[in-house]
Structures are given as structure tokens and as C-alpha cells.
Amino acid sequence: MLKLFIIVLLCQTVSSKLIQKEDYNYIKQNWYSYKGQSDIDTINSEKFIGGINSFKQETILQHHYYLQSHYQLTIRIRAILSNCVNNFVVQLDDARSTIASSQMNPSLIIDMELSYFHTSQSAFFALQASGLPSCSNQNTWWGIFAIEIHVLDCQEFEDYCLPGSNSKWLLLISQLHSKLNDWKITSNGSSTQNLQGIDFEILLRHYSGTFQLQRYILIPFPTKVKFQFKLFFDNQPQEIKIMINDFQTLWPIDKFLNYFVEPGGKTWWIYNIEIDIHNHKSDQLSIILIFNDSASNKVSVLDFIVFYQEQKIALPPILGCLNIIDQNCIFCDIGWQLNLVEQKCIPICGDNKLYKDCDNDNHNANDGCYYCEFQCSSDCQRCNFGRCLEWSNIYNLDQQYYNNYEQVLDCKNNQGYFFDVLFDLCQPICGDQIKTLEEECDDGNNLFNDGCLNCKFICSDNCMNCQYGKCYECNPGFIINKFKCIPKCGDELVKADEICDDGNNIRFDGCHKCQSSCQLECINCYNSHCIECLQGWNIVEGKCEKSCGDGLVAIMSNEQCDDPLDSYCVDCSYSICQDNCSICHQNQCITCFFPFQLINEICQPICGDSIVSLQFEQCDDGNEIPFDGCHECQYSCSYGCILCEQDNICKQCEQNLFFLDPLTAKCKQINQLNNDIQKDQINSSNSTTNILCNQNYVLIQNICVNLCGNGLLNSYYEECDDGNNNGGDGCSSLCTLEEFYQCINLENQLTTCTFIKPPDFNLNSLSDKKNQTQIIELTFTKSVKLMYPSQIEEIIIFRITPEIIHQLTIVPQLNISIHLNNPIYQVFIQFQEYVENPKLEVQISKYVIQDEFNLELYNYNKSINLGNPFIISETTKQQVVSIVKFNDAMMYSLASIAGLALLTGNILMILNLLDLLQSLSYIRYMQYQFPPHLRQFLETYTKIILKLIKLLQNQMVVIYHSKRNNHPMQTQIYLQIKFIQQMPKVATFLFQHPYSHILFALLYPHNQQIKNWLIFI
């Protein structure tokens, strides 16, 4: 039996998850066969659906699935194909895979495995076979034994994911079924139609001519947005135009899936749409679908899903610098001047701009600001930001400037204030990170672009709507990113830190992403002009150009030599006959040595003669089969291998497109290029002068080298580039950002990353999960602070699920504030009715809590299981109180009987009673969690004074042994003495309760002394 494994797309070597396993019987009942009979046939005692009289080349087998979030889908098919089957086609949505007859042996069972990069929550499959032209339709047949569906899931709490990326996408809208009512029809819309399909129902809209559907979506801002949906058409549309705000695209109409929606009906045209929006200007997006058909048509929208991703911004590391080359500033912003020695920008002192410590427009010493730097006066011991906090002689100042010395001391003792003797006022200290009533903010620095300057909220000059140091609306030509205004690249206007803006995204045309982008041969690019080229290239009008005859061989060019004194170097190419030429005439070879042959006047080894010519051939297997270990006399391993060794062993595969299977030492594909690009690459691979490399690859010595890991960030293809291909250092092997790292990314520079774990919060249970009252403690993993003053109830929501009658109380142990601390809160939850497995859900507002690095919480939502609390009803509580009162009466009665036995001399009786009472009091100390009502009952026995019981037991033992030793007189004397000594304790224990009084009154009704004593007590 032949097993054929075809890997169309495999993202990474991770075990996939089986979600669907179907045998021939399940396929018969659930899959739809077009122009085929769902008959069951048998071969070698193995059953399959289809066969010689059932499935022909016009038969199509199709089915539809709804899946969970994933990024790869694999289908495994066990099929039987006749020897007349030329191709077997498997189509998933608009991705089509073809298994040719050259990969199959005739009349044998085939095991196929095909993997696709797939993220949609719906999957449409279609299977079909085509026959050889020489065979009849009768002899072209096929069948299916079983089908398995495997997926590679996204991580927990991820709704969308990409292989090799740590970017987290969040789900905003998910409509797996057709809802055209959510779309507004703006033109030429007619009636609607409900169509009950084979395995789903859709709502169709009839139209003709130009037809538009529009809907509005509220999007968190600023974010990246991803749209996924499918379009169903009755006929192939002539044009599909999609507009999202100012973004517009024409979707290709030649990439589709034909699917039978109705049994026995015609095929429908399905288009799988996925669009990313990176820079939208508002929190509302308008999506418009425009269809243009000359004839009537029908359309429906299915599986409409919207994801979003929060954006980040990297600030420039050199303040005031607009253009940086090799960590040196070349050009400064307005208000700054270039220091040529240190190659950095320094602010211009005296222009009254706030880019330095201070600027009072003079150069007077000891006035608080000297040459734009804070300076203390001569008689000040300690100052901050030019203001004196402690003078050298406060008593002289007291006599000179003010008369109330106590006012100065009170001001100094007040944290965050100092006494200004010049104005005779107590003023706040700006810059001590202590926010006072007079200050809006205090971040401890004087940076002008961090939202707080001179203890006042401030935004950049391009902000139109600034609130508490955060910008919510920018001037035209700027967009909001992290509440800051950054210039919009691509509007052909040069602003702020933009070097240029040519309005396009073309690389190496002088300007790319609003930064200088010269050609590949340029090393240093300044203002879209090259100032340094590779070796052998000359700068001509700001561009690198080669010149044959300048005596320099230009790197990355077709120059072989450049030496005017070398007679063999003609037009920068060698023209001398090589060593393997036996007869050379006028620099032309006539005859070659064996085993070489003359091809194009050059002696070349005979490839295919099974003779390896050293220095020219690596191998020679005598055939022209590619990827078999040797092809064109060079090592040629599996497709995609770029480092091949002897015996068909691949050591390295082309990154981003292939991965190396360590078991087979062969490369397997990651991405499947479309037919046009793949055809161009195949054609270019057969040429020695025209090699086309993929994106983010560069051609070096006829080899496409991946630029990921070269230490020069190309933000168009990379999120980071730290100069290596190692993961776990902030920048992954695929040049994507990793979690918990803060990286500084600058175009064409090395990325530097720092590991900073964001803060998080924990929920811990402090009580037994069976208690009616639960205590949950909320803590944070590190010191945090509030961005602005708030109450805990305003920023944190506590919710019990399922909903139940309860009482929730929040007790702060240490309150969170605008200063860094470690807050602790205890949440008391008292349940009023029974509930199974309740949970406490905690939701914290975003953009409110930060750590010392201004990082926000890693999680905003958490929950904790509260177990199964034991709830006592009001009726049960009343019953427990009644039983406890009855048990109290019994305890007092036993104590009275013990006192009676003591007076009558019945020692054994009182000893037994005391043992019984003491044993009952020990029950509550057992290692067992008693229910609350039973604990309340056992508390009754704590009323027994164990110390007194111990004392009485010791006395009774002495009396008992005295009687046994026949010393009645000594015993009586000893008993009277000890009884008189312990009489106050015994009397307090025996006569403190009314039951004991009643008992003694009954025992001694005629004893006047006891009556008087009882009345006295």
C-alpha cells in the first residue's frame, strides 16, 4: 500500500488537535455529493463511499464546518483512485491544492495530508478528481474511506493568532450567520430571499447594476483592525470594491470557491475576504461594499468577524534630533543646535523655549537660572529647580524677611512644600514627585513630552484636545497613538520628526515611511541623499553608481575585475582562456581537456556523465531529476533547501517559507505562493543574472539571504531586529516582538529590548470555602499607583456569578493612591441563600493603574472559585438557638447534681460527671471542619471551667484514698481545711446559675442558714 503525504502548508512543528473524525458512513450522511451516488463499496475487506459506478470525474464531494479559533487546518484523506485519475483536487475556501498523477501509483489506496494556513471560523471543503484524456469517464472513478480534520489552536484567551507572532488580537464582533439587516442599502437594492442551504441558511439580496451595502462599527482607538467575512454570489461579480473610511481596495474576482448551496442546484461563488486597517483616524469605521454587475445578481454576507489590536509607539532616543545615522545626530529640530563634537542636539539658550532646565533670557548668576541650567543662590544650602529649600542662616532671614518664625517651620514640616522668603509664601516643591493641592501633576522631571511639565498637564503643540496630559484630538496631518500626536506618514507633508514624505510606500526611491531610504548600495543615507556607498561604488548626485575603469571592483555588481593594467580584464570582465582549455587562440578556447566540453566558448564540465569534476561539480548522478540529492551537478536537496550536503541531507531551509524536518532532513513549505509569483521565481531560478528574492530578502552572490537578524530594522516587514535569530531576548527568531519586553525600534538601526514584566493582581481565599461568609484578599504583584485620584468602587467591579442574594463588603488594608505602594483589599461576601460553585469575578478599569515604568496591568479580569458555602436558613438558626438553650439548661443541671454529690460525699458519681463534662468540652478541638451550626452547639461546653474541674478532681482523689487507708479522722480534718480554702471558687461555680439555687432550696427546705445564704447570693 502506497502512502503519499503532501504538505501544502505547515506553520510549525506543533502537535495538531483532532476535532473531526469521519468514516465512510458519516460522510455518506453529512457530505453532499454532486453528480454522484453515495454508495458503499468494499476493497480488501475495507469499506469506502463511492467507487466505479458512483464517483466519476464530474462528481464533487463537499461539506461545511464551523471551527474554534485556530491558525492552521489539516485534512487527512484516505482515498482510492483508479489508474485513470490524472489529478485529485482538494479546495478549502479559496485555497486550491492539486495532487498530480505523477505523485500517485494507479489503483492503490492513497493517504493524503494537506495543511492550510487558515484563521476563519467557517471552512468550506470541496473534493474532486479529473481523468486522463486517454481514459473514458467510465474508467475514471474514485472513493473515500475516511476523513480527519485537525487544527492548531490559538493560545487560551486568544480569538485570532498568527504563527510566530506574539501580537494579541481581541474579538470585537462575531456574526457567523447572515444578518443583512445590520447593513444599510444605499443604492439599487431590491427584494430579499431566504435560502435554505444544504448545511446552513443564508439571507440573499437581489440587485442589478451598482449595489452598495454599508454599516458602521465602533472601534477602540487607537488600534489595528482586522475584518474577516465571506461574500456569496449567485453569479460571478464583475467587480468587488471595499471601502473602509479613506481606505479603498478592489478585491480580485478570480480567487473564489464554487459551492453547491442547494441540493441539485447551481454552484455559488464564495469569496473569502480579510483586510487589515492599521491607521484609522477615529473610533468609528464605515465599511462599504460596492458591487457592479451589468446583469441581475444575488449577494449575501456570511461569517462577519472583526478583531482589534492595541497599537504601540516608540519614541526617538535623542531629544531634539530629526535624523540619526549610526547613533549620531545629523540634523536638529527648530530650537536646537547641533554639537559637532558630541554629535547631539542641544537646546538654544535664550529663546524662552522649554527644552532645557530653565530659560530666563539672561546670563545673571545666582538668580535661579544660569545659562539655561538651574542654579542655587550663594546663601542657599539646598535648592530644587532653582528654588531654595533651605537657607544658610534662617534666623537672619527671619529678621530680614518675615516676623513669624513658626510659619517657616510649619511650612518646612509640611511634606512637599518650601518657604519662599522672596514672596513670604509657603509654596509647593515642583519636581519632588509629591503632588500637592496647588499642582496638577508632579512626575519628578522636566521632560516636555511626557504629559507633565512644571507640575502642569501639557500635551504636544499638535494636540487640539488635551485632558490631564493626554491628547484626544490632533491637528490635521497628525494621528493619536498612546494619547500622543504623531505625524501621519503618506500625506506628502513633512512634519515633526519626518525627514521626507513622498506620498508612497516604495522602497529605495529616496523616501520610505517618511525617512530617508536610499538604494541598497548606499551605506549612509541623509535627507534622501546617499553620503557613503559600498566599496567600488561612486556617489553621483546623491546616488551610488559604478564606473568601469576607476580601478575599483563594485560589490554587488556584475564587475569581475577593474584593472586598466591587466590585459586579461576587458570591460571589467575576464576574457582569458581558463586552465581547462587545451587549445586557445586569441583569447578564445578551441578545444578543452577531458572531461570538459566547449559550451559558448567556455570549457565546462560534462554534467550527467557520472564523473565528478572537482572545483566545478559537487556531484554527478547521471540524471536531471531535481531535489534528489544532485541536480545540475550541484547538491540539490528537497525544495526550499539553501544549504545542502552530500547524501541528500539538508542543513538549512529558506526562512519564513520552509522549515527543516529533523527526521527526514528535508524542507517542508510554510507558505504557498500564488501561481504568478511562483512561476516568476521558477523562471528566474533558471537564469544566472535575473534572480528574484522574496520580501525582506537580498541577493548576495546569487543567494537570497534573509535580512531578519542583520541588526537593521525594516519596519515594513519586521517588528524588531536585534542582530540575531535567537528567541527569548525580546525579539524572536522571526523578528517579532515578544511578551514582557520593552524594545526601542528605530528604522535601519539595531533593536534593544529590556525585560519588564507588567504588574498583575491576585485573588486569594482567606476562609474555608464551606463558610457562609467568604473572605477574599486582593493584592498586586508589584508596587502600583493610580493615574488620577479615584475610589476603589469606581475602578474595580466585584460581581458574584451566578446572581444570588448576598452582601459584599470591601475592607481596605492599604488603599491604592497616586503614589507607588502595595495596596491590599479584603472582600467579605456573606451569602443569604444556597448556591452551587459561585465565583467572584473582578474587573479592573483599563488605563487607570500603572507601575513605576508606566506599564498597565497584564490582566484586567480574574475570577476565583468560592467553593460550596454552607448556608443556614432563618428557620434552622432559630432551631439551633433553641437547642443551645436546652443544652445550657442540661449543663447547669449536671453542675447542680455534681454539687449535690459533693455535699453528700458521693465521690464516684461526681468523678463520672466531671469526666463526662470534660470529654464533651474537648469535642470542638478535633481536627475536623464542623458545620457552623454544630460549632455553635459545641460552644455550649466552653462554659465549663476546666481548671476548677481539675481542682475538684484532685480533691476527690485525695478523699477517696484517705478512706481506703482507714484514716477517717485525718480525712475529715483534711477535707474541712481544703473545703474552707476553696470555698469561694466552689461557691462561685456552683451557685452562679439559677438552677443551682433552685436545687439547693429543694434539698434544704427547712435550713434557715442556707435560705439566708441563697438570698445573700
Q: Report the alpha-carbon distance of residue 428 to residue 455 in Å, rounded.
A: 10
| Grid cell locating 588 | 578564445
Work out the average pLDDT over 230-241.
89
Same domain, yes or no, for 125 and 35? yes
991 has a pLDDT exceeding 50: no
- 950 φ, ψ to 5°? -60, -40
Work out the average pLDDT over 244-251.
83
Write down the pLDDT at residue 576: 63
Domain count, the chain: 4
Write down the pLDDT at residue 971: 45
Q: Report the alpha-carbon distance of residue 723 to residue 707 in Å, rounded.
A: 10
> Which of the four pLDDT bands, split at 50, 70 and 90, describes residue 979?
very low
Write down the pLDDT at residue 78: 92
> Which of the four pLDDT bands, split at 50, 70 and 90, describes residue 414?
confident
Read out DSSP for 480-491? EETTEEEE-TTS
Helix 994-1003 with 1008-1016: angle, nearest 10 deg: 170
Picking from 257, 285, 310, the residue at the C-terminal end of a domain is 310
Q: What is the dihedral of CA 430, 431, 433, 439, to 10 degrees?
A: 30
Assign 1008 to helix, strand or coil: helix
Same domain, yes or no, for 144 and 176? no
| Grid cell locating 948 | 476548677
The answer as to whether 752 is a domain residue is no
595 has a pLDDT exceeding 80: no
245 has a pLDDT exceeding 50: yes
pLDDT tens-digit readout, 919-975: 766 666 665 566 666 666 666 666 554 444 444 445 554 554 554 455 444 444 444
Work out the average pLDDT over 736-749.
86
> In terms of C-beta density within 10 A (0-12 exposed, 13-18 middle, 19 or more buried), how is residue 39 classed?
middle
CATH at 787 = 2.60.40
819 has a pLDDT exceeding 60: yes
993 has a pLDDT exceeding 50: no
Which of 216-230, 738-752, 985-999 has the highest mean predicted lDDT (pLDDT)? 738-752
Mean predicted lDDT score pLDDT of the chain: 76
DSSP state of 245: T
pTM to 2 decimal places: 0.36
Residues 971 and 956: beta-carbon distance below 8 Å: no
What percentage of the chain exceeds 90 in pLDDT?
A: 6
pLDDT tens-digit readout, 606-617: 888 888 887 778
Look-up of cell digits 454599516: 215
Work out the average pLDDT over 120-145.
87
- What are the Cα distances from residue 373, in Å, to 348, 362, 430? 12, 12, 16
Work out the average pLDDT over 755-759.
86
Work out the average pLDDT over 708-720.
87
SS3 string, 127-156, reads: EEEEECCCCCCCCCCEEEEEEEEEEEECCC
- What are the Cα distances from residue 775, in Å, to 837, 865, 867? 15, 12, 12
Q: Report the alpha-carbon distance of residue 665 to residue 643 in Å, rounded.
A: 11
Same domain, yes or no, for 1008 and 899? yes
| Strand boundaries in 385-469, DSSP class E | 387-391, 417-420, 425-428, 452-453, 456-457, 463-467
Picking from 93, 120, 153, the residue at the C-terminal end of a domain is 153
Of 507, 490, 502, the closest CA to residue 697 belongs to 507
**Which residues neighbour 523 within 8 Å (Cβ) at sequence distance 6 or greater?**
530, 532, 533, 534
Q: Report the alpha-carbon distance of residue 823 to residue 777 in Å, rounded.
A: 11
Q: Report the alpha-carbon distance of residue 592 to residue 302 in Å, rounded.
A: 69
What percentage of the chain exceeds 70 in pLDDT?
A: 74
Same domain, yes or no, for 859 and 888? no
Q: Report the alpha-carbon distance of residue 47 to residue 41 in Å, rounded.
A: 6
Q: Report the alpha-carbon distance of residue 362 to residue 54 in Å, rounded.
A: 98
463 has a pLDDT exceeding 80: yes
- 677 φ, ψ to 5°? -65, -40
Look-up of cell digits 580584464: 569
Same domain, yes or no, for 811 and 886? no
Work out the average pLDDT over 799-813.
87
pLDDT tens-digit readout, 317-351: 566 777 666 567 767 777 778 777 677 787 877 76
Quote helix, strand, coil % in the chain, to nearest 5: 15, 40, 45
Picking from 310, 329, 354, the residue at the C-terminal end of a domain is 310
Work out the average pLDDT over 463-489.
81
Same domain, yes or no, for 842 and 950? no
Q: What b/e sequence results for 433-449 when a residue is b if at least 16 CB atoms lie within 10 Å of its CB, and e otherwise? A: ebbbeebebbbeebebe
Q: What is the dihedral of CA 141, 147, 152, 157, to 10 degrees?
A: 130
Write down the pLDDT at residue 315: 41
Q: Which amino acid is at 548?
A: C
Name 569's bridge partners.
574
CA angle 215/119/165 to nearest 5° reads: 110
Write down the pLDDT at residue 401: 43
Work out the average pLDDT over 570-582.
71
Same domain, yes or no, for 34 and 76? yes
Whats the size of the chain, residue-wise? 1017
Work out the average pLDDT over 548-555.
85
Of 988, 825, 780, 816, the closest CA to residue 899 belongs to 988
The answer as to whether 233 is a domain residue is yes
Same domain, yes or no, for 902 and 1002? yes
CATH at 237 = 2.60.120.260
> In terms of C-beta density within 10 A (0-12 exposed, 13-18 middle, 19 or more buried), how is residue 731 classed?
buried
- What are the Cα distances from residue 700, in Å, to 520, 645, 650, 667, 936? 11, 20, 20, 22, 85
Work out the average pLDDT over 406-415.
73
Write down the pLDDT at residue 402: 43
Write down the pLDDT at residue 146: 94
Write down the pLDDT at residue 985: 45
Q: Report the alpha-carbon distance of residue 67 to residue 633 in Å, rounded.
A: 48
The answer as to whether 784 is a domain residue is yes
pLDDT tens-digit readout, 490-540: 888 887 777 788 888 777 777 877 887 788 788 887 777 888 888 888 888
Q: Report the alpha-carbon distance of residue 62 to residue 259 in Å, rounded.
A: 8
Same domain, yes or no, for 125 and 174? no
**Which residues neighbour 713 within 8 Å (Cβ) at sequence distance 6 or greater?**
720, 721, 745, 746, 747, 748, 749, 750, 751
Work out the average pLDDT over 650-663.
81
pLDDT tens-digit readout, 52-87: 888 988 888 988 888 887 888 899 999 988 888 888
Look-up of cell digits 492552521: 72
The answer as to whether 899 is a domain residue is yes
Reported as type and span, the H/E element at residue 948 is helix 946-964
The answer as to whether 544 is a domain residue is no
Same domain, yes or no, for 131 and 237? no
Give the torsion sign (CA, 785, 787, 788, 794). negative
Residues 878 and 885: beta-carbon distance below 8 Å: no
User: 821: domain range?
Assistant: 761-865
Of 449, 448, 429, 426, the closest CA to residue 439 belongs to 429
Same domain, yes or no, for 139 and 183? no
Pairwise pLDDT comparison (10 vs 581), residue with the higher score? 581
The answer as to whether 300 is a domain residue is yes
> Which of the four pLDDT bands, split at 50, 70 and 90, describes residue 355?
low
Write down the pLDDT at residue 369: 77
Pairwise pLDDT comparison (709 vs 569), residue with the higher score? 709
Of 952, 948, 943, the closest CA to residue 911 belongs to 952
Alpha carbon of residue 264 to chain centroid: 46
| Strand boundaries in 468-535, DSSP class E | 470-474, 478-481, 484-487, 510-512, 515-517, 522-526, 529-533
pLDDT tens-digit readout, 140-156: 888 999 999 998 887 76
Work out the average pLDDT over 346-373.
69
Same domain, yes or no, for 188 and 284? yes
Write down the pLDDT at residue 969: 44
The answer as to whether 937 is a domain residue is yes
The answer as to whether 405 is a domain residue is no
Q: What is the dihedral of CA 370, 372, 376, 378, to 10 degrees?
A: 0
Give the torsion sign (CA, 655, 660, 666, 667). negative
> Which of the four pLDDT bands, split at 50, 70 and 90, describes residue 105?
low
